[in-house]
Amino acid sequence: MKPKVILYTAASLDGRTTGFSVDMGQFYSLAQQWGENASLVGCDTLLNAPDEIPEDETSEVSTITPSADDSRPILVVPDSRGRLKSWHYWREQPYWKDFISLCTKSTPPEHVEYLERKGIKTIVTGTDYVDYEQALEDLHSQFGTTIVRVDSGGTLNGVLLRAGLVDEIHLLIHSTLVGAISPKTFFRDPNPEQSGEIAVKFLKSELHSERCLLLSYAVVK
């Protein structure tokens, strides 16, 4: 059994995800309505974090034991190539109660050792690329996850959509046009040569301030 997967993105009227101002306080305040157990955040999203991240100066083994009444979600990051080296920083943030790296059989062993030292749990699925269907099932069976909110860019969104793993799409549309300044959109097809329509069913719309309209859709399966 897999958890419910919610794709939530801020976008311009022309579907861009960068090149305009986003009220992050509003964005994450609205995200709380879905009661996520896990935040699936793309590796590139964390690697491109705007704040300067201090270097990790300790090699000590660290452990995490979240309390049973901790309602915060788990941070889940796909990282088959072992690129994310700033787990010490993300662990210090107050938004998540536990941390999981999605790895594959080809993830460098030295990176797996690094994750163990930092107390980061791992789910190993796939050979070269993360098997997201299996990863979601493991999140449910091993951690009791029932709702996953995807907080990522168009690449991971596209992979999940094409795999038929997304249940709902929520777009916080900003009243602005970006145009060719930004090539980044909320849905980038992983294989454009095999692209095709993905049917969705309108659920509702909510106006949030004069600038933002939250559009909600269910993915038709």
Tokens standing for residue 123? 């789910």
Whether the pLDDT of residue 105 is over 90: the answer is: yes
Q: Are 135 and 4 in contact (CB under 8 A)?
A: no
pTM, rounded to two decimals:
0.93
d(CA 67, CA 140): 18
Over residues 107-161, the pLDDT tens digits come to: 999 999 999 999 999 999 999 999 999 999 999 999 999 999 999 999 999 999 9
Rounded average pLDDT over 10-38: 94
3-state secondary structure at position 93: coil
CATH number of the domain at 1-36+147-221, please? 3.40.430.10
> Is the pLDDT assigned to residue 180 strictly greater than 90?
no
**DSSP state, residue 19:** S
Phi, psi dihedrals of residue 160, rounded to the nearest 5°: -70, -40
- Delimit the CATH 3.40.430.10 region(s) of the chain: 1-36+147-221, 38-48+62-145
pLDDT at 59: 61
Order of strands, sheet of 200-208, starting from the edge strand that comes earlier in the sequence: 121-124, 98-103, 74-78, 38-41, 147-151, 4-12, 168-174, 212-219, 200-208
Given CATH 3.40.430.10, say whether it is the number of domain 38-48+62-145.
yes
pLDDT tens, 67-92? 888 999 999 999 999 999 999 999 98
